[in-house]
Structure 1
């Protein structure tokens, strides 16, 4: 039985040596924080932006956010102007749902129930009724407006709630110089439509995008004169 005992000892030594080598690539710190993320609920470490009132928002013009808010749904009040969060953000994960009403017969292109989500008040992800609605592709729903065309059109019909899940990596500046551009990933109704694309600069309706140095800034929702609604909006700082 001696040879068998010797074999057992050899296997044990080899196993201990493998475990020792494997331990060299085990990283035990930092330990990730525990986040509760139940289905259809706001993650425990997220900031809910649409709760029982509009206390998280203000008008870009100054003063209170003067949009319509009822039963957790926020709707653009045409002519009231854009609204922004009171809190500023850099890198974020943003979740929201949005809905466009049935279009009027003469609505087409960019006039067919338009809005937008501006990160740091500069970089827009388009909100638009792009369901059977021809327009320039770098201006349809899910586009980085006037910059990057979405990979696909994932739009649901008017009257149905749309979902956006967006990862925004803010640009980094060294003084006035751009050190690293911004990047963005957009998931529209569960479908990736922007895959870590580089943001070319500020959103411009006319002319080329450009970068100007800035720090963390608010999120902004656009009043484009249409009754676009939002709900279940929350943000996680990354």
Structure 2
């Protein structure tokens, strides 16, 4: 089969799946579920209202946030670019942004677009646990990995120049009398296909520049502190839009959905 035709067919099938899984609540274009808040609609206004820089140990940027509003290369609407000049050269932690609201358990939807080959960013759950965004790699540090721990069970990335979507159910670590009794867990859909099912997450990876607790006992010292949803700046043209989050209470429940 001609490669171009094959790619278009694969894209069409993936888009169909994205609107049919889980009652239409996963995949590109998924609308906020009841009770969710829209944190990024692609406009600078929503960025400035709902997000702030994460001022970690490597922070170099200056307010206001330098992530720019751009024209959606596909649909002509609005999107926000993660290509902050302070993060040029892959300096993660220098200009990452995080929601002003902080979370324990939550359901989140994130749409991203990688413009160029090798594009790199990341979605951090609770500003701790990264779901990787990296064009051209599917290892434990590659696309859609729960980084350094869980590789996706299938490859659902639609490629550069195309919108992709993560749908995430996250359950925070549990503590009793100040002691950790259960690690965090997550279920992730990628473009409407389940790629991680109720996976336990062991630690924060990447050191103190990566997020909350990254420098605490080598990332193993997880604390009982809520955190925002963070997006990583690595000096690449990775665009974001349609990010919504619903706060949950998953006591006694799995993250599977």
| Shorter-chain TM-score range | 0.7 to 0.9
What SS does structure 2 have at the residue aligned with 1:49? strand
**2:51 equivalent in structure 1:** 57
What SS does structure 1 have at the residue aligned with 2:116? coil
**Could you report, residue by residue, the CA deviation over 1:65-94 in whole angstroms, capped at 9, with x for unpaired residues?**
320124431111233310111110110111
**1:226 equivalent in structure 2:** 236
In 2, Cα distance between equivalents of 1:204 and 1:173:
23
**Could you report, residue by residue, the CA deviation over 1:44-83 in whole angstroms, capped at 9, with x for unpaired residues?**
4111111441110011137443201244311112333101
In 1, Cα distance between equivalents of 2:206 and 2:123:
14
User: Is the alpha carbon distance of 1:40 and 1:189 closer, same or farther for their aligned partners in structure 2, counting shifts above 3 Å?
Assistant: closer
In 2, Cα distance between equivalents of 1:184 and 1:121:
14
**1:9 equivalent in structure 2:** none
User: Is the alpha carbon distance of 1:84 and 1:64 closer, same or farther for their aligned partners in structure 2, counting shifts above 3 Å?
Assistant: farther
In 2, Cα distance between equivalents of 1:232 and 1:64:
21
**1:115 equivalent in structure 2:** 121
More displaced stretch, 142-151 vs 39-48: 39-48
**2:221 equivalent in structure 1:** 211
In 2, Cα distance between equivalents of 1:208 and 1:140:
21
Q: 2:164 aligns with which of 162, 178, 201?
A: 162
**Could you report, residue by residue, the CA deviation over 1:158-207 in whole angstroms, capped at 9, with x for unpaired residues?**
10000110111111123542111100111001111111100011123699
Structure 1: which 4+ aligned runs deviate by more than 4 Å? Answer: 205-209
**1:173 equivalent in structure 2:** 175
TM-score, L = length of structure 1: 0.72
The answer on whether the counterparts of 2:83 and 2:234 sit within 8 Å (CA) in structure 1 is no
RMSD: 2.2
Equivalent residue pairs, number? 189
TM-score, L = length of structure 2: 0.67
In 1, Cα distance between equivalents of 2:163 and 2:218:
32
Alignment of 1:1-238 (within 5 A): 40-51=30-41, 52=43, 53=45, 54=47, 55-61=49-55, 63-70=63-70, 71-80=77-86, 81-103=95-117, 112-129=118-135, 133-134=136-137, 137-204=139-206, 209-238=219-248
**2:15 equivalent in structure 1:** none
The answer on whether the counterparts of 1:82 and 1:222 sit within 8 Å (CA) in structure 2 is yes
In 2, Cα distance between equivalents of 1:209 and 1:60:
17
The answer on whether the counterparts of 1:176 and 1:212 sit within 8 Å (CA) in structure 2 is no
Radius of gyration: which is bigger? 1
The answer on whether the counterparts of 1:128 and 1:141 sit within 8 Å (CA) in structure 2 is yes
